[in-house]
Structure 1
Amino acid sequence: MSDTTPTRPLPILFIHGLWIHASAWGPWQDLFEAQGYLTSAPGWPGDGDTVQATRDHPDALNEVGIGEICRHYAELIDAMPVKPIVIGHSFGGLIAQELLANGYAAAAVAIDPAPVKGVRILPFSQIRSAFPVLGNPANRKRTVALTAEQFRYGFGNTLTPEESDALHAAWTIPGPGRPLFEDATATFVRDSPAAVDTHHAVRGPLLLMSGTEDHTVPLKVTEAVVKLYADGPSRTDFLPVEGRGHSLTMDAGWRDVADLVLGWIEERGLDGDG
């Protein structure tokens, strides 16, 4: 008798971005687990177990950079029985690409990802969104929290002020300044931790997503990343999400974005039925 037992889908590892606690992935985890996936959403090194715990001890994130974050997740993946699909938002999207290019992930989804080395355009909205950190060189060695007003511009520009402020209250945490400084200077640093092998890496499929109204990582920045992958040997897909800003993974429309990701995973045969 033939074995008709369905293949279990690959596990999902969610990676949050700067200023957002890992627990914001909770609704995504519930959705994916209802579809049969095993999920995890570990925080960055130095994150507390909760939003409030991280706010109470922000110094634990001082000087945490891109390299430390990548190694943290690589070590977690090394302890897993199989390589996961990594889904990252913002700086988590940059980390997801690095993990994929270096063989730690079976596939990756990068949603509004922080730019990789090689992206040379710098839209005004991106400068303004990063200014709370980059405006003071001393922030490279310490954590910085966003005010509700700063969050409204960088994350909640497509939302009502009330929804944006509610997300700020629920999910924001102080974030280390170092990753932003590392990303901002990547063009001028030979061995930048923001570098990703976009040309030669033989890897699993990658989906890049971008909210068309994003202020923090504008659409044209993600389009520039897509172009860097154009001549590579491995599959890279791009999906713009119309009318959405940087809050697209956690605002009231998060389910629409999550369904797009689930659909892509199914299309690529990564859901255990391919």
Structure 2
Amino acid sequence: MSTPVVFIHGLWLLESSWDRWAELFAEHGYEPVQPGWPDDPETVEEANAHPEVFAGKTVGQVADHFAEVIAGLPEKPVLVGHSFGGLLAQILAGRGLAAATVALSPAPFRGVLPLPISALRSASPVLSNPLNRSRAVPLTYDQFRYAFANAVAPEEAKALYETYAVPAPGAPLFQAATANLNPWTEVKVDTDNPDRGPLLIISGEKDHTVPPALSKAAYKQQQDNPGQTELVSVARGHALTIDSGWREVAETALAFVERVTAAASQPAG
């Protein structure tokens, strides 16, 4: 039976952003699963025509949605998440639901303390207006260029924006922004659970939205876990899962998954 791999997208993208990754993992014998967030439209065109469907979703609601998806699988899956999807993957792994996890440029959780200027600027289209907490917020091309596509040429940035960008719920960004002030936040990860499984964090060296300081701080929080914990840096921006360098990043993730799943299948002793 093929090991399932659940791909979890972040804000401003849909599950279709993982299509090439899913194909690559399938070629290597894994069973890709691309559930999307609750009520996600099927296409970018539909999403941009009906942005209201994204409004109001919280980190806790989305995490529970993915936990239900995982409960319906025949075995513990590998989780691969990007940005807020990387945060969600770590939350789910902290619940003991993952065989292994790859978190790419993961959004910060409670205990991750740095506040890089570029991260604040990337989040400002949402956080600049408190009313956005209950809204769906699209990015302009210039905002997408700064937050996602700063590490690619303008022509590629424009193509990425037109191909992938959709509105996103504002609530998760407000939750993340206040996580270290709110002891009851949903934006928290059980980094000590011995059933967390192996974890790889992939950091984008040129990432404005989740700069390396945030990925390194998440790695530091996770290091005390008895499970294998690794950090790898790649010379990409926040669009590292969808831009022209996606394959190198995906192969880095795949190599980790193959290594740790092979080790787990070896007989004890």
| Structure 1 CA distance for aligned equivalents of residues 145 and 263 of structure 2 | 36
C-alpha distance in 2, partners of 1:271/1:21? 32
- State the match for 1:240 in structure 2: 233
Determine what percentage of the aligned residue pairs are the same residue.
Answer: 46
> What amino acid is aligned across from residue 197 of structure 1 in structure 2?
D
Is the 8 Å Cα contact of residues 58 and 174 (structure 1) preserved in structure 2? yes
Specify which of 173, 176, 188 is matched with residue 181 of structure 2.
188
Q: Which residue number corresponds to residue 11 of structure 2?
A: 18
Contact 2:100–2:261 (CA<8 Å) still a contact in 1?
Answer: no
Deviation, 1:201, is 4.2
Compute the TM-score of the two structures, normalised by the length of structure 1.
Answer: 0.94
Q: What is aligned with 2:57?
A: 64
Separation in structure 2 between the aligned mates of residue 261 and residue 270 of structure 1, nearest angstrom: 14
Q: Which residue matches 2:219? A: 226
Matches of 1:64 and 1:162, distance apart in 2: 32
Q: 2:196 matched to which residue of 1? A: 203
The answer to whether residue 42 in structure 2 is matched with residue 49 in structure 1 is yes
Alignment match of 1:263 (pick from 238, 244, 255): 255
Please report the TM-score for the alignment, with normalisation by the length of structure 2: 0.95
Q: Aligned pair in 2 of structure 1 residues 240, 201: CA closer, same or farther (>3 Å)?
A: same
Match of 1:251 in 2: 243
Which amino acid in the other structure matches residue 267 of structure 1? R
Q: Which ranges of structure 2 fall in alignment gaps of 5 or more residues?
A: none
Distance 1:181 1:192 in 2: 11
CA contact (8 A) 1:88 1:111 kept: yes
1:80 & 1:204 partners in 2: Cα distance?
Answer: 17
Cα distance in 1 between the residues matched to 2:50 and 2:75: 33
Say whether the 8 Å CA contact 1:54–1:173 is kept in structure 2.
yes
SS of equivalent residue, structure 1 residue 220? helix
Of 141, 154, 161 in structure 1, the residue corresponding to residue 134 of structure 2 is: 141
Q: Distance in 2 between matches of 1:51 and 1:72?
A: 21
Instruction: Confirm whether residue 107 of structure 1 aligns to residue 104 of structure 2.
Output: no
Aligned length: 266
User: Which residue identity does 1:25 align to in structure 2?
Assistant: W
The worse-fitting range, judged by mean Cα deviation, of 224-233 and 132-141 is 224-233
Q: Quick one: which of 147, 153, 158 aligns to 2:151?
A: 158
The equivalent residue for 2:119 is 126
CA RMSD of aligned residues (A): 1.4
Question: Conserved in 2, the CA contact under 8 Å of 1:9 and 1:271?
Answer: no
AA aligned opposite 2:129: N
Does residue 77 of structure 2 align to residue 96 of structure 1?
no
Q: Which residue number corresponds to residue 5 of structure 1? A: none
Corresponding residue to 2:71 among 68, 78, 94: 78
Which residue number in structure 1 is paired with residue 110 of structure 2?
A: 117
Q: Unaligned 5+ residue runs, structure 1?
A: 1-7
CA shift at 1:40, angstroms?
1.4
* Matching residue of 1:4: none
